[in-house]
Amino acid sequence: MTIRVLLFAAARDHAGTDAVGVELAPGATVAHMRAALVRQVPGLASLLARSAVAVNHDFAEDGRALGPGDEVAIIPPVSGG
Q: Is 34 left (phi over 0), alpha (psi -120 to 50) or beta?
A: alpha
Q: Give the pLDDT score at 81.
A: 54
Q: Is residue 25 part of a domain?
A: yes
Domain total for the chain?
A: 1
Task: Note the pTM of the prediction, 2 decimals.
Answer: 0.91
Q: Is residue 81 part of a domain?
A: no
Q: Is residue 26 part of a domain?
A: yes
Q: Is residue 20 part of a domain?
A: yes
Give me the domain span that covers residue 41.
2-75
The model's pLDDT over 15-39, given as tens digits with 9 standing for 90+, comes to 999 999 999 999 999 999 999 999 9
Q: Is residue 80 part of a domain?
A: no
Q: Is residue 29 part of a domain?
A: yes
How far, in Å, are 26, 32, 33, 55, 58 from residue 52 at the CA level? 22, 14, 13, 10, 10
Give the Cα separation of 80 and 62 in Å (integer).
Answer: 27
Query: 78: pLDDT confidence band, cut at 50, 70 and 90?
Result: confident
For residue 11, the domain's CATH number is 3.10.20.30
Averaged pLDDT for residues 62-69? 96
The model's pLDDT over 40-49, given as tens digits with 9 standing for 90+, comes to 999 999 999 9
